[in-house]
């Protein structure tokens, strides 16, 4: 083979390798924003069709409750580029061609802001019961290797009722021109696909996902947190005596059950029993529970297991119950 033929063969091989090179892709989760003032912030929705990674970053606050010195609302997502190229930026969040979402803009590093007005979902909605998320192509941008920061800003509320409402789930930067995402688990998703949950698994997963955000928020306070602190609090509560005879006082120290009851007797009964004991030692006299609502008692309204369990534990320590029925 002549030198010319060898050179041509090398060129063909080089072009072939370039044409078959894997596209460069960067996946960013909005709830992991390095810096944000979104209110109320990261939100976990554990559902098979919920947000990617079961968490999203949300902004949902009335204008009259906003400190104007805090504006704009923003979220910053740092990322690193290893391969220079022209990247398509896909955003999973609130569409920008509807009245129910606040207007949003973005920028890369210190470049000029780009208005996202008019950008509508190219995919169907997803995100759990509310279905407030969908994918839209935000822009095509040239990126050089190195560290960068993607910043989203919401400067004004939606027009219809002066509510700052904007949801941001994930961002994908990719050189793959054929990529068109849909749903919470498109191509390039780093999250394992789940189609169903075992009993109690959703609650366990929700706790695991919410913990990092709780710890991050707690780090900005003066509260202490750690194994030693938790152990000391537990020691002090356990040192308190259990109630013997309840005094008939005009007022009770009670707790209100939240929308998601913490008691599910079929899988966390032992933990719940310990909670009731600790609350009794802490001086709790009564509970208000939503376990008695029809929707909690099952399709045929005859599943009283969790409610019976709650009442039994409360009665054990002389606690009273106020039942919310609806």
> 69-124 pLDDT, tens per residue?
889 999 999 999 999 999 999 999 999 999 999 999 999 999 999 999 999 999 99
Q: Is 233 helix (H, G, I), strand (E, B) or coil?
A: helix
Say yes or no to pLDDT of 146 above 90.
yes
Q: Which of 17-26, 33-42, 62-71, 193-202 has the lowest mean pLDDT?
A: 17-26
- Tens digits of per-residue pLDDT, 230-251? 788 889 999 999 887 666 677 7
Res. 203: pLDDT tops 50? yes
SS3 (DSSP) at 269: helix
* 283 pLDDT above the threshold of 60: yes
pLDDT given for residue 34 in this prediction: 94
Sequence-ordered list of residues with C-beta below 8 angstroms from that of 234, at least 6 positions apart, any chain: 278
Longest CA span, the chain: 106
pLDDT confidence band for 12 (50 / 70 / 90): very low
Q: What is the CA radius of gyration of the chain?
A: 26
Q: What pLDDT shows up at residue 218? A: 77
- Any bridge partners for residue 115, and if so which? 105
Q: Please tell me the least confidently modeled range out of 229-238, 242-251, 303-312, 315-324.
A: 242-251
**Is the whole model's pTM more than 0.85, yes or no?**
no
Residue appearing with tokens 């913990």: 211
Mean pLDDT over 154-175 rounds to 96
What is the pLDDT at residue 219? Answer: 76
19: pLDDT confidence band, cut at 50, 70 and 90? very low
Average the pLDDT over each of 17-21, 73-77, 168-172 and give the range with the smallest value.
17-21
> At how many degrees (to 10) do helices 265-282 and 227-239 cross?
70
Average pLDDT in the 21-26 region?
91
pLDDT of residue 271: 87
- The residue among 178, 189, 170 whose CA lies nearest residue 22 is 178
Q: Which domains does the chain have, with CATH numbers?
A: 20-190 (2.60.120.260), 241-323 (no CATH)
Q: What is the pLDDT of residue 252?
A: 80
| pLDDT of 17 | 46
Helices 265-282/305-316 angle, 10° precision: 20
What does the pLDDT average to over 183-208?
91
């Amino acid at each position: 083979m002549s030198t010319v033929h060898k050179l041509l063969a090398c060129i063909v091989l080089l072009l072939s390798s370039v044409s078959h090179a894997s596209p460069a892709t960067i996946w960013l989760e909005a709830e992991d924003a390095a810096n944000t003032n979104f209110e109320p912030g990261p939100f976990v929705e554990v559902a098979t069709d919920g947000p990617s990674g079961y968490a999203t970053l949300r902004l949902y606050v009335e204008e009259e409750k906003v400190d104007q010195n805090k504006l704009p609302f923003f979220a910053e997502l740092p990322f690193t580029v290893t391969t220079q190229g022209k990247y398509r930026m896909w955003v999973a969040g609130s569409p920008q061609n509807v009245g129910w979402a606040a207007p949003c803009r973005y920028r890369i590093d210190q470049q000029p802001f780009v208005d996202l007005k008019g950008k509508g979902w190219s995919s169907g909605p997803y995100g759990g019961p509310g279905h407030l998320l969908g994918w839209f192509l935000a822009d095509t941008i040239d990126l050089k290797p190195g560290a960068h920061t993607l910043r989203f800003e919401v400067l004004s509320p939606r027009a219809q009722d002066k509510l700052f409402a904007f949801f941001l789930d994930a961002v994908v930067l990719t050189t793959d021109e054929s990529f068109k995402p849909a749903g919470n688990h498109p191509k390039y998703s780093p999250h394992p696909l789940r189609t169903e949950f075992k009993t109690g698994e959703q609650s366990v997963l929700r706790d695991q996902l919410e913990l990092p955000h709780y710890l991050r928020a707690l780090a900005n306070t003066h509260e202490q947190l750690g194994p030693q602190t938790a152990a000391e609090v537990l020691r002090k509560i356990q040192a308190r005596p259990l109630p013997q005879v309840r005094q008939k006082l005009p007022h009770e120290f009670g707790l209100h059950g939240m929308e998601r009851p913490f008691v599910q007797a079929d899988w966390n009964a032992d933990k719940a029993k310990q909670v009731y004991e600790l609350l009794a030692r802490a001086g709790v006299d009564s509970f208000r529970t939503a376990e008695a609502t029809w929707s909690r008692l099952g399709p045929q309204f005859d599943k009283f297991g969790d409610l019976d369990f709650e009442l039994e534990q409360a009665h054990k320590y002389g606690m009273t119950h106020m039942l919310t029925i609806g």
